[in-house]
Structure 1
Amino acid sequence: MITREATEKDLEILLEFEQGVVAAERPFNSTLIEGKIHYYDLNSLIQSSDATVIVAEENDEVIASGYALIKESEKYYNQFEKYSYLGFMYVKPEHRGKGINKVITDELISWSKSRGISEVRLDVYAQNESAIKAYEKAGFEPHLLTMRLK
């Protein structure tokens, strides 16, 4: 398996992965609209100097993805002016359980550090226990829980 930066040639498979992310998140979020949803502007992320989209390939097949996007922090934080936000973490179902998500996460963190970014954040649904455990294993700690009232 290799990891590399995504290109515009990967957009078709990345759009499929995006729908895989949506399908995985639907059980955790009853407020999502029905049908196809686009969370990301993948082409903009691929082209941005403040972002990277990483894919994992095995036997010339793209099997996983993730992105890091440098964002400005709120002015009330005194320890960092910018942080890296990770998202679009997806591994094809038949390749899960092999540590691929950790490889991509490590690559995104490394990319962030190479740009002088020390704060890395991501969002995960509170009920998604397997994802929470995986991110905790990678060194992430819970920080904020969004609450809602119907």
Structure 2
Amino acid sequence: MPEPARTQALVVLDPVELPAVHELAAAHGVELQQVPRRGIEPVTTVTLVLMGAATAVGALQHALEQRRGGQVIDLRPGAPRAIYRTPDVVYGTVVLLAADGTVTVEVKEPDGMFGKVISALPNLLSAGGNGTEQVTATVTARFGADVEVRPAAGRATQGGDA
């Protein structure tokens, strides 16, 4: 039987996550190699090279993404952090804290769309205003059927049905 194709991938994570990542890597049969830091900046992240079978590396990357949780985008004036990921929000969910309420976006296919949605939202929202109606309209217009948008008022808007 032929050996499975080997691949490498880079991940950047918080040093506190290292023990859990080592356990996950061992469970998936993936080797880890830490990339040495250069420079004098404070060490706030760790870069790892994941090495192993393509499917195992992909499974580990997915598990690490899920551990990071969902996305929060805080548009309120004076918010302490504007954009961050947190395990307090379920993976595949984006919570937008608009100036006048909360909008929740659930990505229907998180494995394929979550990264695309969270990378596009900051640029989309900076142009579209920060109220719940503007946020709902902007997200629905851009992502349509790929997401479900729920404004704070409780009315769900699915893929462009306003």
Bigger strand share: 2
Question: Between Structure 1 and Structure 2, whose CA radius of gyration is higher?
Answer: 2
Q: TM-score range by the shorter chain?
A: under 0.3
Higher relative contact order (CA 8 A, sep 6+): 1
